[in-house]
């Protein structure tokens, strides 16, 4: 796993150096709109702590951070009104996972039928 780089784009959003379209926030978690949405609803949920990816978060985050992160994903799906129609959550991790921003994030995607789980290579 790469070490955390505090100059990554989501760290800059968390510090208020870059704007975002905020959806929801609590002490440990921020949710905002993806800048280049792949679906009618495309929300990113990130922990406020400096975690590179899921493995880093799993090993090093507190119970409170875990709980807040999990709840926020369901909360923004509720806010976006996609619970009944359905949605998908994705976290891209590392090189094989095609993770571009090295601060843990969950994509919440919905608002239309997404199709099969993974596109064929």
Residues near ligand DGP, by CB under 6 A? 9, 18, 20, 32-36, 92, 98-101
C-beta of 29 vs 99, nearer to ligand DGP: 99
CB of 18 to ligand DGP, least distance (A): 6
| d(C-alpha 88, C-alpha 7), whole Å | 28
Which secondary structure element, helix H or strand E, spans residue 90, and what is its range?
Answer: strand 87-90
Q: Which residue numbers are catalytic?
A: 105
CB of 63 to ligand DGP, least distance (A): 25
| d(C-alpha 80, C-alpha 99), whole Å | 24
| d(C-alpha 16, C-alpha 113), whole Å | 34
C-beta of 55 vs 62, nearer to ligand DGP: 55
């Amino acid at each position: 796993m790469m070490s955390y780089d505090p100059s990554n784009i989501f760290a800059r959003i968390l510090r208020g150096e870059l704007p975002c379209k905020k959806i929801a926030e609590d002490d440990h978690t921020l949710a905002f709109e993806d800048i280049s949405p792949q679906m009618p609803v495309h929300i990113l949920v990130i922990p406020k702590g400096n975690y590179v990816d899921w493995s880093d978060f799993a090993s090093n985050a507190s119970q409170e951070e875990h709980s807040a992160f999990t709840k926020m994903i369901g909360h923004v799906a509720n806010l976006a009104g996609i619970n009944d129609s359905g949605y998908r959550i994705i976290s891209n991790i590392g090189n094989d996972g095609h993770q571009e921003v090295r601060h843990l994030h969950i994509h919440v995607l919905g608002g239309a039928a997404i199709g099969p789980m993974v596109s064929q290579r």
